[in-house]
Structure formats: C-alpha cells, structure tokens
Structure 1
C-alpha cells in the first residue's frame, strides 16, 4: 500500500533552510511512493520564487501552526505590532474598480495623466500605447500605471526596455517618484550573473524588476531560449517607434524582440512621441504588439481609428493646456538679426581639401571600389567640420591610424594627412561661427552671471560639446568640469551658464 504524503496544497513547509507554500503535489513514480512538490517561496530571500522539490532528494517538513510561539510586544506604543499589521495590509492587493491616487508618487497628477491609469484598469490585461507629445510626462504615466498594478498584485515582475542613453533617467524617475526599484543589466552584467547562478538557472528570473537597453536584448538569438522561458507581469518599451519594424519586419531585430516579449507578458506599455511615420503598416505593427487580433496583418489589412481606439492615448499640449496650467508656458520665437558669418581663410583651406577628397572618390578607378563604398564616412567628415574643427580632427586622426595599419597604400591617406595639417591650424574659438554665437548671446543679455537667462545650445558631437563648453567658460571666466560621457545627446551644465546639450 503506497505511503500517504502528509502534505497538501496550501500548507507551509520548510526545505533547504527556507519556508515555502505548497501549490501542487504530483507523484514522481508509478508506485506513488515518491512525489514532486511544487512550491513558491515565502521567506524574504526566496519570496515569489517557484521551485519543485523531490521527496527522495530533499527533506521536506511541514510547518505546524500549533507550534507558533507568541512573543510579547514590549515596544513603546506597540510599534512593532502596528508595523507588522501595516506590512500585512500593504501586501493585500487592492480590489476596487477605481484607482487609488492618494500617495501615488512624489508629484501632483494632472487629469489627463489620471485618464491613462483609468484606461489601463478598464482592460483585463492592460496594454496601451502612450503617444502623448514631448513634455507631457509619459514616464510619469507609466509609473502611475505600474504603481496601481503593483497595489493590485499584477506587477510583481517588471521588464523595462529603453535606449541606452535613457536608462539612467528612466530608472531614476521610477525610483525617485514612485519608489519602484529597477535593477539595471547589460550584456556584461548578464554574463557575470550567469557565472554566479547554476547553469540551468534563467538569469532573467533572478531579479523581478529589471531595466535593460533595447540594444542589449535585440540580439534575440543570444537570449531567446532564456526569454522564451520567462514570464513577465508587465513589459514597458520606451521610445517604442524603434521596435515598430519600419524596415523589413522579418529582419528587424528590435521588432522581433518586441513580438517575443508581447507573447510572454500579461500587460504591455509602449511609449513614444512619434508613433506614426506616415505609413499605416508601421503603425499597425505597433498596435499588433498590444493585440495581434486587432490588426492580424498590417501589410494587407485596412483599418481605421475605430478599430484601434482602445489601444492608444495621444494628446498634444494644446489639448491639455487648460489642465496643466502654468506648467506649460507659452513659447515665443524671436528671430536673431544676424545668422550667417563669413568663413576664414584657414576654414576655406580645410573645406577645399574636403572637396578634393570628395572629387577623388568620384573619379577613382575600379580597383579602389572599396574606398568608394566609404562615402558615408566622407560625408560624416563634412558634418563634423561644420560642427567644429576639434570634432573633425578627432575623427580624421582615428581614420588615418586605422588606414595606415590596415591599408598603407590607400589613396585616401594623402588627403587625410593634408586635412589633419589644416585642422591643426583651426580652433573653435577662432571660427567665425563662434564669434557670431558670442554676439548673439550678448544680444539676448546672457553674460554668464546668475540672473542671466538660461540658454540651451545644441551640438551633435561630443568633441564639439567639449570645445564649446571650454570656450564659453574661458570667455566668461567660469568654472567647468572636464568630465564627459562619450555618447551623443548628453546634457552637461556649467555653473552660471545654463544647460548645454548636443546637436548642431
């Protein structure tokens, strides 16, 4: 007669020095004498973690509630008991139909942001495209929705995908305003994590709330077997237009990643300020990530606004200005009187060499076809030269070293050497454009003092940003930091100068 296991679903057990809640029990042999016990962690270190223990390998002991020891609370005002009761109440999921906006985060929610939370709660599985204009707080709305889902026990496992340059900002926003901690991972972090866990352990199940760069995960083949075995409660994709598959969707790695994750999550939130690139097919692929049945095949299926109305929210500043009040101030465009400057003779010399290099590419013989294929690099030199001599000189130097090491006979080398010599005679501070910029700053009353207007200057390259920051600081006798991050579109600040960000 088979032995009867003194366990049942719903009981608490002790195994491997941790407490677990029994979910299911299956016989692991035909005789019914050995069992596989499926459990979920209860202790702090294993809470939420699912496991299966075999009775022939592990010692499983049931927790007898009759052996519970009562400990007197000697704290002042019964603080420990009150904290315990409060913790238990907070762990109980909310079940109301309306969102509880009290204490939602460190901010003042606006009516149009609350609409996003209510729209999400109306769905059985919240799946929504937040396509509000820039500056309307899409990250805030994501935090509000996540907080409400966490309260309802529906957002224990969260995955956030965003661009590499936005990782820090998104992570800080959710933590500072909503106290939602996200563990930041990259390819190296995942590799180190795999060295610390068993071989058969899924690295995406170690942390329950993770933020990762899209570029890290879009190589689906590298992590596919892990992602296919991982379930998420909520997946958030920031700048979702990058995963819409604007090119051939079958070859678009980011789009394949998004499709895979959409099948492995209950809820999905997409955010972008540019959801539509003018092609119905691309926008349809974004909607199909939320619900494949809404637009089964965007290439052939015609759809209208009524078919997808429940899947997106798109508001512009003019639509919500009456709700935002003073938080959205009016913009006034004041054209500058002088916007052009004559190039100096040294700048003309460098520009002439760039022209000769371009002409040589067009007339080169067939044996140098590989050089002609590098036209994008040559046009890039044009852009960098128009940004600043320092930026162009940096790229020319790197390009020259690479060609001298790989192909010393390249016909491009003489032109690059001449260009490098010409650029050494140039500096941003000597350029006519820099003097025009100084003149324009003076016209608007900017002199680097504390009460002068804040100024935003855009550049496209890091080297230009470094040179411009140093030049302005030297001109107005200001202190500045020499520390920069080597990635585009990074903002830096100078004391009493304001904010300097990348793009000329």
Structure 2
C-alpha cells in the first residue's frame, strides 16, 4: 500500500464515506478526526495504513446556484452553525461549551486565575453570588485550553448530586459521583490495573467518604491536577472529622503544580486557627499571617490579595450598576408569648432545670444539659417530648456540650443533631415521675390552639401564601420539623407541604424538593440539612426562621438558599419568629443576632461569633435560667432580671471578635469593569447571545414543521412529535419527547433552554447536516430585494478554522478553534469584514421580493467565480482576522497580567463557504 499523504491540522479529508476535519493532535499515520457535518461526540481516531480505502483530500461543497433558497433559510443555517460552535477562537475558550450567560462580575475570578501559572484561589463571595458558576468557568477554561484533563470537586455529601447536575447542565461536563453508596458499582467499571481516578477523569467526591484513612491514600496517589473544594471552611477548624478533611487537603495542596479553587461564603467561622489554615492551603506562608510582625504582615497581605476574592453583594451591584442582579430582601419579625398552658409548662421545666443545675453545681455537663433541654422545650411540644423522653433514658450529658458548641461555631455538619441527642443522663430515679408529668403536659400542647409559636407561624404564612410566595420554614430539630409539617398540612389544605430532614439521604432530599417544586402552591419545612450549599431559588422565594439559629451565619445561609443569583422573583421575604418572654430567644436575638448585624453594618463584613465558646455558653446558661418578667412592653420583655449583667459580659467578647475580624479584611486586586465587560461583549458576538438563541429556535421550529407555541409567561412549547423522524430519534436518546415547555430565561418550574442543551444542539446539528451533506442539494445561495441598501451588496458567510498555539512554562500545545465570519462587498467597493453595525443590520434584515431567475443565477455565479478566482483577497482578510484574534488574546493576557507564555493564532486554509447572498436595492 502506498504511503498516505500527510494531512495538516484543519484540512478536510474524505474517509469512511464522509468528510472530516483533521484535529491538531493528529500524527502522520494516526489521525484524530472530527466529522465536518456532525458533532464532536462522533470524533474518531483512525490508523491510515489500516483503512480499507485510504483517506483523500476533500473539498467543502460550494453553494448550488441552481437551487437557491430564501434569506430566512440562509439566516437559519448561519444561526445553526453559530449554535454548534464549541471550540471558539476568542480568548475565552470555554464560552462555546457553557450553558450559562455569566454576569460580568463572574468573570473576575477567571481573570484572576489566568494571572497565575498554577491557579490557587479562595473565592469567598457572599452567599448567593454564584461561586459555583465562577469555579465552573475556571475549570472549563482550563480544560478547553488543554491545561487540565482531570479534576475533582470535593464537597459535603449533600452537595454531590447538585454539583453533578450543575456541571452537566451549565458547563457540559459529565462528572462521576463518588460516595460511599456509589463507589462499589463504579469500581466494577474500572479495568484491572487502572486507577479509579484515571478511569473517571471528572469526579464529584463526598468529603466524608474520601477523608478516611482507607480512601485518602488511594486518592492522594492518583489525585487529578485540579481540585475544587466547596464549603472549604468546614475542612479547617476543629473536631475529629474536620481534622481528617484538613489533613487530606493539606497533603493535596502540597503539590505546588496542582490547581486549587476553594469556595466558601464564611471563610472565618470564628476560629482564627481555622481561617489561617484555610489561607495556608493557598500558600503555606500565609499561615504566618496570624503571628506576623507589621512589615511581614504588610508584605503577606499584599501577596494574598492575588489569591483571595471576597465581595459583598453591594460591591457587585455598585460595580455593575445593575440593581436587578439580586432580589430585594424584605425582612420582618413575628412574636409570640408563652401564655396560658404553654407558659405554665415552660416555667415548670425551667424550675426543674434550675433545681437540677443547683444540685450539681460542680458538674459543668449538667449546666450544658439544662440549656440544651430548654432549647428543645422552646422549639416545639414534639421536641420537648423527645428531649424529656431521652432524659428518662439517660443520654450522656457530654452530647449536649458537643451539640451546643457545634451550633455556636457553625460546625454542625451536614445534618442537624436531633433533639434527643441534646439531653443529659437521668440524675436519680426520683425524677421519673416529674419527667413523665412534664411529658404528658407537653403532649397536651400539640396544635395551634395550645401552641402560641405554631399559631404565630400559621398567621405569618397566610399573607405569604396569599401573595403567591413559596416559603421554606427552617426548624432546628427533626421532631419539630415533622410536627410543624403535620399541622401546616391541616392549616393549608390547598398547598403541598413537604418535610425534608437529615433522616433522608441526600438523593432522597433532592427528589423530595424536586417533587414539591412541581406543585404551584407549596411549603417546604426543613431542618438545617438544607441550609447550606443547596440551591433552592428556582422553587422558593421566602424563608421563615421557626427556630432562631444561634450562629448569625446560619441565618444568612438559610436565607441564601433563595436570595441568590438566578432567583426570578424580584422580592424575597424573610420572617423571623421569636418568643417575647422566652429568655433563650431574648439572649440569642439581642446579644448575638442583633449585635452581629450592627457590627456588619459598621464594618461592611460579617463578624463571626466570638471564639470563646465558654464565655458564650456561660452567658447562655445564665440567661436561660433567668425568670420571665411580666411586662406589656416588647422592649422590656426582651430584658430579664439580671440580663444587663449577661449583656455586659458579652460586649467584651464581641469587641475582641470585631478586632480580629477587622484584621481579616484584605485588599482586593483592582479589576476595572472596562477591563472585563468589553471582552465579554466581544465573546457574545462570537458565539451568540440569548437573543440569537431565541431567533434560531423560533426559525428552526417553523422550518422543521413544529412551530413554537408561546404563552403569556415568557415561556414556549414545542411538540417533538411534529419534528422529522430522524431528529425525533436523536432527541429521544436525551429523553426529549412529547410537548416540552421551556423559556430562554430562568422561570420557576420551567426548562431553561441554553445553546448547549440537547434540544438546541439537536436542531442545530440536524439543520447544519442537511445543508452541508454533499449528497443532498444545499440551499445556501439566495438573491433578494432588500430595503435599506442603495447598491448591490454581496454577502459571503464563512466558517473559519484556526490553530491556537499556547506556549507556557516551556511547554507548547495546539488547539483547534472555529468561528463564523461575514465578508461584504458593497457595489464595486473592496471586500471587507462586516462591522458590528453591518452584522446587526443583517440579523434584523427582512428582505422583500425576488428577482428573475436568470439574473439571480448570473449574480450567484459571479459571486462564486470571485470566490474561486480571487482567493488571495479572501485569504488576506482571513489572516487579518487571525491577527485581530491574536490581539484579543494578548489584550486579555495583559488585563490578567499574564507575563509568562504566549499565544499564536494561525488561520487554516481554505475556509468553508457556507452561503452567499446578493441583496439588491428596491426600485
């Protein structure tokens, strides 16, 4: 067999009965091919010497002048090719592969990542700003630049499924979920002798699974070159499980060539050592900030600014001058009093707690137990019964200390501690009759007629439901959540009420929330298992704090589930319930929550609860044992006998915490809007915006015989059954059939259609393949009369291919890139690249009538002769375009302050002529 010809990257060849494009990583005898009329998923490698028929050079079919189409069909073909673009030629390689139109502020972390030879970032933006999108943009860009082939997301187990969905839906990345429940099945898929993490290049890994000694070592030996760590603050504080997490991350970060992206909305959870451990993952030198002298601290702070991004919503809104970025949060309070039987019951329990505490003055555990018991009693009759029952059964008092400490520091983990884990051991048998009597009284208080807190909740929910809001009611205990759900079902019979607690596995929680979201009238009752990391903005727009959280960050995390990027409701409502004459509520509200809010308003940052938990719990215990005052004034009812002394005790702790927090405010690297926004707009022009997507879908559906059905809520419906059979078969592989309702913008309960969604890509692929298949007559030539022009205008639409060569850290790699380009000749003027104004004119053009066939065919033939005879003119413009792209890359590198490496852009000839259209002025 004779030697096969050498095919250069970007050239067209014919093999196996179809046309292909040669990819840059091909070898002379081992070709990596992507189908010319097909998708990247159909790419193939071939050994030329083993092919039955040797590959030969192919030519892209020219438009057929004898079978002319109309302008709308040509516009549709161009839009289909635009929607198919994945490997864009612009400086942001990833934009063709993402299904989200990022906000300009979300590009700042990407720009910061591009500044670094190895990405090390701590993204500590406010809750709900979009840290997942920011991290996804970075890893997608690193992958599309060829710098990363494998990466893992390490996150709490309840976030594994969410990360998997987000990567697939928004970034077109298929990831494998690795948890204790999935790993056995996955191991069976790994070939013998191959590493688990080599076989699955993108993984979402439960921190609780991977942190153990049994799994940590295997991961360390085969860990990928890039890591995202979500809720990173949960890995660097105290506790056995947290120490295991931190040891794993520290060993992973020790490889200085590994990209590391840390995500958290609460970088400082109140423990200085945990915060500086977190910074040390970026660079071990940063751990010395805690004890550094003035000059060293100044130097280290300046360096840290290149690794740390911490922005408040107000910063972002001011920067973008867009008040609609986030919803308006409206907060209110609802109060209740411990009156009647509830008040008598509370007083009796408090008397019991005081007696128990005084009889064991030297046993600190008992003091914790009294506080824990009152916490449960204050939550609900159900949690009271559970706690008192466990008091009878004798749960160790040390559990109460751990529960209270964890709640104050915000380190409760993924699931809440049930009420029955916060009670002390039974002191003596003489207490049994007292406890059984208290349990009987608690059981008699079930329901809104006897429970003033539940009654206040129902009263607060009624106006929310009437105004069309979908609320989440957050409770502290599982027993309380089940109790609240039971009575809300009775009070709101037209609403679907769902309870989600830590008793459900993460996947079951997700299924329960998804089923609830499908109902138009819904109420979600949840414990803190849904208060962190979970995205709930698409189904809910109100939050009720049924139980006050003892840590201010927990309130923000709860509200951040709905008040976040992507919330479609312009307003989010938050309601906080508390007891006017409940001493525990009074302490938490006045001494912790309101002080934290006042300090945040003053400093502009969230200040963690004071680090000295002993001082806090001492103050809490003293407050819990204070007797209620009989007063009609709300202000007075929040004060109790001896409260002033407790309040004064806490002022000193808050002052120290404020001083520490002030030291953690670090300067940010300046990133001006004018450095980012123009590049974002240019990139939109290259790959298409949401408006381009909408135009394509409307036109494509009509062309294929399944016109969209609009409704009054910015949503559309397409009937898949009306599409061609071959296309239906493709879509059914993605479980798309029947009538599908969608929107081009986020709408609660409706599919958000993006350029990478299988429905969009399916229609685009089908239309492009029909037009470009050499065995089918194309409709890529047209001659039309058009208003708005004064001379004959010839429009050439091209698909260009480039080879982008990245040189970085003494390494070079080539990547293929594509883009669409429009060339225009007006009258006898020079051929030129269409300006932004000309492209806008062509997008909005609505041509008029036709001209006679003979003249139309003559015009098309003349344009095609120009293409064939004057290719040098076209080539010069294409190379000019390559230089423009090179300058775009250089400008981004300059804005990102990339000093090392370079990028070159080489146009691969010949280009593909997709269509030619001649527009004639109206007579």
Q: With structure 2 as the length reference, what TM-score do the two structures score?
A: 0.40
Which residue of the other structure, out of 122, 131, 140, is the alignment partner of 1:138? 131
Secondary structure at 1:176 match in 2 = helix
More divergent stretch after superposition (64-73 vs 430-439): 64-73
Which residue of the other structure, out of 42, 51, 61, is the alignment partner of 1:68? 51
Deviation per residue, 1:358-382 (Å, 9 max, x gap): 532541599xx7xx74654553332
Give the Å deviation of 1:320: 1.2
Secondary structure at 2:173 match in 1 = coil
Match of 2:443 in 1: 424
Give the Å deviation of 1:100: 3.1
Match of 1:216 in 2: 209
Q: Which runs of 5+ in 2 are unaligned?
A: 1-31, 33-45, 62-80, 397-424, 528-544, 548-923
User: Do 1:384 and 1:391's aligned partners in 2 also have CA atoms closer than 8 Å?
Assistant: yes
Match of 1:283 in 2: 275
Match of 1:8 in 2: none
Structure 1 position 435 matched with structure 2 position 428: no
Hey, what's the Cα distance between the residues in 1 that align with 2:432 and 2:468?
47
Match of 1:232 in 2: 224
Give the Å deviation of 1:190: 3.4
Match of 1:118 in 2: 111
Match of 2:605 in 1: none
Which residue of the other structure, out of 283, 287, 295, is the alignment partner of 2:286? 295
Give the 3 Å change call, closer, same or farther, for CA 104–117 of structure 1 in structure 2. Answer: farther
Within-5 A mapping of 1:402-481 = 411=429, 414-429=433-448, 430-442=450-462, 445-446=463-464, 448-449=465-466, 451-480=467-496
Hey, what's the Cα distance between the residues in 1 that align with 2:86 and 2:139?
15
Within-5 A mapping of 1:113-192 = 113-190=106-183
Secondary structure at 1:228 match in 2 = helix
Give the Å deviation of 1:222: 2.5
Give the 3 Å change call, closer, same or farther, for CA 308–398 of structure 1 in structure 2. Answer: same
Give the 3 Å change call, closer, same or farther, for CA 462–172 of structure 1 in structure 2. Answer: farther
Give the Å deviation of 1:452: 3.2
Match of 2:356 in 1: 360
Match of 1:382 in 2: 374
Hey, what's the Cα distance between the residues in 1 that align with 2:85 and 2:269?
44
Deviation per residue, 1:373-425 (Å, 9 max, x gap): 46545533322221111233234445645769xx9996465554333322221
Hey, what's the Cα distance between the residues in 2 that align with 1:128 and 1:319?
19
Which residue of the other structure, out of 521, 541, 565, is the alignment partner of 1:496? 521
User: Do 2:382 and 2:480's aligned partners in 1 also have CA atoms closer than 8 Å?
Assistant: yes
Within-5 A mapping of 1:235-384 = 235-244=227-236, 246-247=237-238, 252-264=243-255, 266-277=258-269, 281-292=273-284, 294-295=285-286, 297-298=288-289, 300-302=291-293, 303-304=297-298, 305-322=301-318, 323=320, 324-334=322-332, 339-346=335-342, 348-349=344-345, 351-353=347-349, 355-357=351-353, 359-364=355-360, 373=365, 376=368, 378-384=370-376
Provide the aligned C-alpha RMSD in A: 4.0
Secondary structure at 1:169 match in 2 = helix
Secondary structure at 2:182 match in 1 = helix
Hey, what's the Cα distance between the residues in 2 that align with 1:250 and 1:394?
27
User: Do 1:403 and 1:410's aligned partners in 2 also have CA atoms closer than 8 Å?
Assistant: no
Match of 1:103 in 2: 96
Hey, what's the Cα distance between the residues in 1 that align with 2:371 and 2:124?
34
User: Do 1:218 and 1:253's aligned partners in 2 also have CA atoms closer than 8 Å?
Assistant: yes
Give the Å deviation of 1:321: 0.7
Paired residue total: 414
Give the Å deviation of 1:478: 2.3
Give the 3 Å change call, closer, same or farther, for CA 280–475 of structure 1 in structure 2. Answer: closer
Q: Which runs of 5+ in 1 are unaligned?
A: 1-41, 43-62, 79-85
Secondary structure at 1:108 match in 2 = coil
Secondary structure at 1:259 match in 2 = helix
Give the Å deviation of 1:195: 7.1
User: Do 2:157 and 2:206's aligned partners in 1 also have CA atoms closer than 8 Å?
Assistant: yes
Secondary structure at 1:310 match in 2 = coil
User: Do 1:162 and 1:239's aligned partners in 2 also have CA atoms closer than 8 Å?
Assistant: yes
User: Do 2:496 and 2:521's aligned partners in 1 also have CA atoms closer than 8 Å?
Assistant: no
Give the Å deviation of 1:144: 1.0
Deviation per residue, 1:327-372 (Å, 9 max, x gap): 2234344555xx2323332552255135415532541599xx7xx7
Give the Å deviation of 1:256: 1.0
User: Do 2:473 and 2:524's aligned partners in 1 also have CA atoms closer than 8 Å?
Assistant: yes
Q: With structure 1 as the length reference, what TM-score do the two structures score?
A: 0.69
Match of 1:484 in 2: 500
Give the Å deviation of 1:123: 1.2
Hey, what's the Cα distance between the residues in 2 that align with 1:485 and 1:248?
23
User: Do 1:183 and 1:209's aligned partners in 2 also have CA atoms closer than 8 Å?
Assistant: yes
Give the Å deviation of 1:201: 5.9
Deviation per residue, 1:127-162 (Å, 9 max, x gap): 111111111100111111121112122332221111
Give the 3 Å change call, closer, same or farther, for CA 334–365 of structure 1 in structure 2. Answer: closer
Give the Å deviation of 1:193: 4.9
Secondary structure at 1:268 match in 2 = strand
User: Do 1:131 and 1:272's aligned partners in 2 also have CA atoms closer than 8 Å?
Assistant: yes
Secondary structure at 1:107 match in 2 = coil
User: Do 1:456 and 1:500's aligned partners in 2 also have CA atoms closer than 8 Å?
Assistant: yes
Give the 3 Å change call, closer, same or farther, for CA 409–485 of structure 1 in structure 2. Answer: closer
Higher relative contact order (CA 8 A, sep 6+): 2
